[in-house]
Amino acid sequence: MSQPIGIFDSGIGGLTVASAIKKVLPQESIIYFGDTAHVPYGDKSRELISHYAVRITDFLLKEKNCKAIVIACNTASAAAYEKLRDQYKGSIPVINVIDPMIEEVIADESVKHVGIIATKTTIASGVYQEKFSRRKPQLKFSAMATPLLAQMIEEGFYNNNISDAVLKEYLGDPMLRDIDGLVLACTHYPLIKKEIDAYFEGRVKIFDSAEVVANKLRIILEKEGLLQIESSKEDHFYVSDYTKSFEIATRIFFQQQVKLERSGIWDEGL
Ligand code: DGL
């Protein structure tokens, strides 16, 4: 099917997921939407995030004719996935970044105590905690909000002294002392995966959702008969507020610089 895949995030962090999707499904075209006018989502209420997510999904489906939606943001997945899934049930697949990760972790018998690091809203939603305790009651988990990380990464602070110090402070928390697995429950965090791995000196298995979600999307598109067979048209990357610094930062998340286009979905009254 030649329609594009719609992917959205609060900003440009979700480009880590978009990049994994392009690797797993190179023949597909994508429409990415980064809600840069409202980033960060991580400290906003679930109600407000859900309101944003519904409007963005509407844009991707009605204006851009997407055949599937990927919520490439843990915070938006925690706040709005159920609402979107119920709204589009039976018409288009809506994929979140949390459920494929839950499956991945619970299938790993080597993990007995998993840490979860994410934004405040994701942790406060209790979604990971609820799903882990329901799906695998014997799995111990420790969930911790790490609000500085997404901002730090977006400002280009990773693999340096500042990120080292911030990570040391968070990861040294006694709560994470005896974990053997760690879920990077924010789509910004793949950028600091190596640093986190180095901090734990390889003792902790690090789970990052980008690849897991891309593989899950491939399975769903295949099952629904929605896979694109021939190489398709070009990709588009929209943001709700354009600044040059967002465009420059796309390189770190997508592994190549992309041209951002501004979409005026929130422009009414401007
Ligand atoms: N990338 C978002 C996530 O996965 C977090 C960034 C934000 O706070 O907007 O949760």
pLDDT tens-place string over residues 5-44: 999 999 999 999 999 999 999 999 999 999 999 999 998 9
- 97, 72 Cβ separation under 8 angstroms: yes
The pLDDT score that the predictor gives to residue 233 is 74
Same-domain status, 123 and 197 = yes
pLDDT the model gives residue 111: 98
Atom of ligand 1 nearest to the CA of 78: 10
Q: Residue 269 domain-assigned?
A: no
Instruction: Give me the pLDDT at residue 232, please.
Output: 67
Which of 216, 144, 154 is CA-nearest to residue 187?
154
Model-wide pTM > 0.85: yes
Locate the ligand 1 atom nearest the alpha carbon of residue 150 and give its number.
Answer: 6
pLDDT at 229: 79
> For the chain, give me the number of helices (H) and strands (E)?
11, 10
Q: Which atom of ligand 1 is nearest to the CA of 72?
A: 4
Among the candidates 186, 209, 232, a domain finishes at: 209
Q: State the distance from the centre of ligand 1 to the C-alpha of 151, rounded, in angstroms.
A: 9
At 230 the pLDDT is 77
CA–CA dist 98, 119 (Å, integer): 13
What own/partner pairs with CB < 8 Å and gap ≥ 24 does 160-165 have?
Answer: 163/192, 163/195, 164/195
- Indicate which residues carry an active-site annotation: 73, 186
Residue 135 lies in a domain: yes
Its domain, for residue 45, covers 5-96+211-262
Residue 195 contacts residue 232 (beta carbons within 8 Å): no
CATH number, domain containing residue 224: 3.40.50.1860
Whether residue 165 sits in one domain with residue 223: no
Question: Which is it for the CA torsion 195, 201, 204, 210, positive or negative?
Answer: positive
Cα angle: 198, vertex 77, 21; to 5 degrees = 65
Are residue 221 and residue 183 in the same domain, yes or no? no
User: Ligand 1: residues within 6 Å at CB?
Assistant: 9-11, 13-14, 39-42, 73-75, 119, 122, 150, 186-188
Ligand 1 pocket test: pick from 8, 12, 45, 73 the residue with the most ligand atoms within 8 Å of its Cβ.
73
- Distance of CA 250 from the midpoint of ligand 1 (Å): 15
C-alpha pair distances (Å), 239 with each of 110, 206, 216, 243? 40, 30, 25, 9
Give pLDDT < 70 ranges for the chain. 1, 232, 269-270
Q: Look at the alpha carbons of 175, 180, 184, 190 in this order and tell me if their dihedral is positive or negative.
A: positive
Number of domains in the chain: 2
The pLDDT tens digits for 150-181 are 989 988 888 899 999 999 999 999 999 999 99
- Same domain for 89 and 157: no
DSSP assignment of 237-253 equals EEESS--HHHHHHHHHH
Same domain for 41 and 122, yes or no, is: no
Report the pLDDT value the prediction gives residue 124, as an integer from 0 to 100.
96
Residues 24, 112, single domain; the answer is no
